[in-house]
Chains A and B, each alone.
Chain A
Amino acid sequence: MSDHESTYVPKTGVEKWLDSRLPIVRFGADYMSLPTPKNLNYWWTFGGILALCLAVQIATGIVLAMHYVPNVELAFASVERIMRDVNGGDLIRYTHANGASMFFIAVYLHMLRGLYYGSYKAPREMIWIVGCVIFFLMIATAFLGYVLPWGQMSYWGAEVITNLIGAIPVIGEPILIWLRGGPAIDNATLNRFFSLHYLLPFVIAGCVVLHLWALHHAGQNNPVGILIPKDRLKKDTVPFHPYFTVKDGFAIVLFLILFAVFVFFMPNALGHADNYIPANPLQTPAHIVPEWYMLPFYAILRAIPDKFGGVLAMFGAIGVLFVLPWLDTSKVRSMRYRPAMRTFFVIFVLVGLGLGWCGAQLPDAPVIPGMPSFTLMDGQLNSYLWLTRLFTAYYFAFFLIIMPIVGLRETPLPIPATISEPVLPGGDAMTAAAPAAAEKKG
């Protein structure tokens, strides 16, 4: 919390010397003793999980960069060589490749948690906005990284995505050439993508520092969504360590189990087989699809008949998140107390999954095979094209229409005065005697 007083007392001479010059130990100690709402549930553990994901990606990525060759003739074979001839190389590379998927699983859950519990609302707008910047950088980094193995999907994914920039009127074409380093995707493109793929994770790390700084300044939200009054601070919060280090730690171990199942037993299940075919600029794959975590945005891109319109919609789908704090008109943070909004939220989650599903299908394919249909505008009504459009409409309506209107018109449920109230009758029954009782039982 912003007015969290430092309780650190330097003990040794070295600590005292250091504390008056660079209070870095104090910084760490204050971090660990930060008063944290005691009612944070498991949805709050994804922050720690994401920090782990970033660390894993950077650590494995640094080792991969020692062996990877950013050259169109050698890149594909160099990635395979890492998996065949570098000590532990298969684990390092598969951890990095699956780590991207794990990172996105965690970030989507982290964002949905923020959305559900209103973690973006005052005074936490900057936490949310910096988080959106991180999310955008993650997408860019993941895209750049997917190009590096120089398989068929790498090449053609790069082709499709960079072409989007070319759809911008007037300035699109020169930007496209500047971005690719030439008229086509070639060695220059691969080299700059490698350079940027190495750079961006450190920019993300910098943004994470800002994200945490803002978090510790404004204080953590909690499932009840109320600000903890100063006089309740002692009763309603616990120090971050050990209470949340152990809870986050448990969640991280569970997450690592999921991670390990993919890395050790099904390392290519989340990827696409075509990316083990070396890039061939003369042969377009039958079906170009991005990685699963990009699919919802890819679906939105394809939903708009006009190419530039599609690009605007796709970037708009991320851009709208930045202004979310001002689109939500509700005074209540947590959707626990907003039953109407909660229904719209559940539909939003399903629509997001639906968009991901649509992004992997051919737009012309029928949603229900064999069902009679008719042509509406530019496609059959019974096609993924129209299903995607329906979902895209809801995606934007959720933020631009539902959120402002429901916030003004809904009747929220009564909100507890303290975060202890929903747990214990009487509110502040967190007994001082509890640790003693624990001793007896333990």
Chain B
Amino acid sequence: MATMNLETSMRSMKKTLALVAAAAGLVLAAQPAAAAEGGHGYALRDGNFSFEGPFGTFDQGQLQRGYKVYREVCASCHSMDLMHFRTLAEPGGPFYDAHQASAAENRYVKALAAEVQVADIDTETGESVMRDGTAADRFPNPYPNATAAAAANGGAAPPDLSVMAKARHGGAGYIYSLLTGYAPPPEGLQIRPGQYYNAYMAGDLTPFMPEGAHVPPGGFIAMPPPLMDGQVTYDDGSPETVNQYAKDVAAFIAWASDPKQVQRKQSGVGTLIFLLLFAGVTYMSYRRIWKGVAH
């Protein structure tokens, strides 16, 4: 009797393990599948970002530098319409400070917001006025509307960067690779004026290469190389290089695309520990209740 029970439970245990293995396979399969779809010629450059992996967290200094690069370089053409200044001061954000009362009261963020002018209506007269920004304001859009953005940039509006790390395969690694992926155009490549060759841009260069020539990876991008060594001043001693700027701004956009990601991963660890313990308890209850019932 006891041996029969043992055998059947071993059998059901094996099946359970097979199911768990299948589930694990599914989780693993979902990752390379997403990466393989990108269609980039090269494997993306590895930024060795601190926030990768289940336990990774953002480096607050890097986020602050990344914000500075965005503010001083990217923001002259790219909007981040979904971002508010107050978000910068939320837990996990570049200017979070545990000693400040709230995100809206954070003095760094208030100072950063006050640097911009925001269009508003005078509450007394109803006239259009410009006022200093507050923590509750959105990041200012460099253009009054999408048509103006397109007109100022050769017909293609620079994309909004609010969720850019989620909107491209490879996320931060893609942004980092793209920003450092400008290279002299391969020999024979026909480039139209206002276009640049980038080894990580999606596209197919076959029609632009001479017949029979080797087709290089990458594609055309309308954005001129945006970063130069020494362009942005860092006051924490980090190298003022294109490589460092690209890495920092990629990290900042990765944070901005999903500002809750680190807190979510941290609660995920707790949730999984609970679920694993609970699975153990439930399995023991199952064994206890079914004891003596051959099935």
Number of A residues with CB within 8 Å of any CB on chain B? 57
B72-96 to A contact mask, C-beta < 8 Å, 1/0: 0000000001100001000000000
Stretch at the interface among A188-196, A205-213, A270-278, A333-341: A270-278
| Residues of chain A contacted by B169 (CB below 8 angstroms) | 273
CB-CB under 8 A for A276 and B54, given A84-B259, A90-B260, A269-B31: no
Stretch at the interface among B207-215, B225-233, B239-247, B279-287: B279-287
Does A91 reach chain B (CB closer than 8 Å)?
yes
Contact A253 B1 (CB under 8 A): no
Closest residue of chain B to A94 (Cβ to Cβ) is B264
Contact B289 A243 (CB under 8 A): yes
22 A-B contacts (beta carbon < 8 Å): A39-B295, A42-B12, A84-B82, A90-B258, A238-B293, A243-B293, A249-B285, A250-B279, A250-B285, A254-B19, A254-B23, A260-B268, A264-B265, A265-B54, A266-B27, A268-B34, A273-B166, A278-B160, A434-B293, A437-B292, A442-B288, A442-B291
| Residues of chain A contacted by B269 (CB below 8 angstroms) | 264
Does B294 reach chain A (CB closer than 8 Å)?
yes
A294 to chain B, nearest CB (A): 15
Give which listed residue, B31, B291, B295, contacts A266 with CB less than 8 A.
B31
B291 to chain A, nearest CB (A): 4
A378 to B26 Cα, complex, angstroms: 35
| Residues of chain A contacted by B202 (CB below 8 angstroms) | 286
B109 to chain A, nearest CB (A): 15
B43 to chain A, nearest CB (A): 17
Please report which residues of chain B, range 1-58, place their CB below 8 angstroms from some CB of chain A when the two chains form the complex. Answer: 1, 4, 8, 12, 15-16, 19-20, 23, 26-27, 30-31, 33-34, 37, 39, 54
Contact A254 B279 (CB under 8 A): yes
A376-413 to B contact mask, C-beta < 8 Å, 1/0: 00000000000000000000000000000000000000
Contact A42 B15 (CB under 8 A): yes
A242 to chain B, nearest CB (A): 5
With A40-B295, A90-B260, A253-B282 known, 15 other A-B pairs at CB within 8 A are: A42-B16, A80-B82, A83-B260, A94-B264, A249-B282, A257-B23, A257-B275, A257-B279, A260-B272, A261-B27, A265-B265, A270-B30, A273-B168, A430-B293, A434-B291
A219 to B141 Cα, complex, angstroms: 63
Number of B residues with CB within 8 Å of any CB on chain A? 58
Contact B268 A265 (CB under 8 A): yes
Contact B15 A438 (CB under 8 A): no
B41 to chain A, nearest CB (A): 15
Contact A276 B167 (CB under 8 A): yes
Contact B291 A246 (CB under 8 A): no
CB-CB under 8 A for A260 and B293, given A42-B12, A273-B167: no
Spell out A's residues near B (CB within 8 Å): 38-42, 77, 80-81, 83-84, 90-91, 94, 105, 238, 242-243, 246-247, 249-250, 253-254, 256-258, 260-270, 273-274, 276-278, 286-287, 360, 420, 423-424, 429-431, 434-435, 437-438, 441-442
Contact B289 A242 (CB under 8 A): yes
A75 to B234 Cα, complex, angstroms: 38
| Residues of chain A contacted by B37 (CB below 8 angstroms) | 287, 360
Closest residue of chain B to A151 (Cβ to Cβ) is B167
A168 to B95 Cα, complex, angstroms: 57
Contact B268 A263 (CB under 8 A): yes
A336 to chain B, nearest CB (A): 14
Closest residue of chain A to B261 (Cβ to Cβ) is A90
Contact B167 A420 (CB under 8 A): no
Closest residue of chain B to A249 (Cβ to Cβ) is B282
A105 to B259 Cα, complex, angstroms: 29
Closest residue of chain A to B260 (Cβ to Cβ) is A90
| Residues of chain B contacted by A420 (CB below 8 angstroms) | 294
Contact A250 B259 (CB under 8 A): no
CB-CB under 8 A for A256 and B282, given A84-B260, A264-B267: no
